[in-house]
Homo-oligomer: A and B are copies of this chain.
Amino acid sequence: MPEQKKKKAVCLLSGGLDSSTCLAYARREGYECYALSFDYGQRHRIELEAAARVAADLGAVQHLVAPAPLRLFGGSALTAEIEVPKGRSGEAMAAGIPVTYVPARNTIFLAFALAWAEVLGAEDIFIGVNAVDYSGYPDCRPEYIEAFERMANLATRAGVEGRMRLRIHAPLLRLTKADIVRLGRELGVNFALTHSCYDPGPGGKPCGACDSCVLRRKGFQEAGLEDPLDTA
């Protein structure tokens, strides 16, 4: 009996906890995964090495790193010379959109994913955004993801010709960080390969104090698991 052909999916992969878990989720759902990362002039460019490790470890068919010139526009602590805030409480994070927000980042990333999906003939795009324990970014909310999906289905040749119906999957959208850690573990994500810190020290060592480090620590603590990066 011939093997059934797997469906292809484009999976956005930063190399962090969330996107790695999202990639593992897509794989478990039976997709052949095409991982897509971006070199956008981020301070924490070292996350691209984590993305490559994770893509290989989770059996992605292909891993592309697309250069995306977000630095050209400035406006974020993640790309420009603005200081990354440290030691913020959950309340402080919940109070507003932080300076680490990169204007239109997920829109740009999803737009590239859409281009690749159309070329591959993939109907599914996975993105590890999360609207619970997150940094307050507007482009991580369910209404944003739905609006993007709607637009995407009007944007492409395949959508217009009725040959495919694109779906943006955000399986982590309503999970807490602890839920994500538990799910990642269940799906076999090797957390030691990931990278989350916005402002890493030499050798990629997490600063432990930026929003991303704080959220990650909270997630592992609440899940009752040890983060391998803490003991590395």
**Residue of B with least CB distance to A70:** B115
Tell me, in angstroms, the Cα distance from A73 to B122 when the chains sit together. Answer: 13
Give the docked Cα–Cα distance between A174 and B37 (Å).
38
A75 touches B151 (CB 8 A): no
- Known contacts A104-B115, A107-B111: does B151 contact A147 (CB below 8 Å)? yes
Q: Which of A75, A102, A155 has the most CB of B within 10 A?
A: A155
CB-CB under 8 A from A108, the residues of chain B are 108, 111-112, 115
Q: In the complex, which of the residues A102, A104, A156 has the most CB atoms of chain B within 10 Å of its own CB atom?
A: A104
Q: How far is the CB of A63 from chain B (nearest CB, A)?
A: 12
Are A160 and B103 touching (Cβ within 8 A)?
no
The answer, yes or no, to whether A143 is at the interface (CB within 8 Å) is yes
Nearest chain B residue, comparing its CB with the CB of A119: B75
- A148 vs B75: C-alpha distance when bound (angstroms): 22
- How many chain A residues touch B (CB < 8 A): the figure is 45
Nearest CB of B to A70, in Å: 6
Q: A69-B66, A97-B161, A150-B147 are in contact. Are A155 and B119 (CB under 8 A)?
A: no
Cβ of A141 under 8 Å from chain B: yes
Identify A111's interface contact among B72, B104, B159, B160, CB under 8 A. Answer: B104
Interchain CB contact (< 8 A) of A118 among B103, B141, B151, B156: B103
A138 touches which of B116, B141, B147, B154 (Cβ 8 Å): B154
Contact indicator A154/B159 (Cβ below 8 Å)? no
Verify B104–A155 contact, CB threshold 8 A.
yes
Q: Does A228 contact B (CB under 8 A)?
A: no
Q: Are A107 and B155 in contact (CB under 8 A)?
A: yes
A87 contacts the other chain (CB 8 A)? no
Whole-angstrom CA separation of A83 from B66 in the bound complex? 25
Closest Cβ of chain B to A50, distance in Å, is 21
Any B CB within 8 A of the CB of A106 = yes
- Let me know if A160 and B115 touch, CB within 8 A: no
Least CB distance from A137 to B in Å reads: 8
- Residues of A bordering B, CB below 8 Å: 64, 66-70, 72-75, 96-97, 101-108, 110-112, 114-116, 118-119, 138-139, 141, 143-144, 147-148, 150-152, 154-157, 159-161
11 interchain pairs (CB within 8 A)? A72-B116, A97-B161, A103-B115, A103-B157, A108-B112, A108-B115, A138-B156, A144-B151, A144-B155, A147-B151, A148-B151
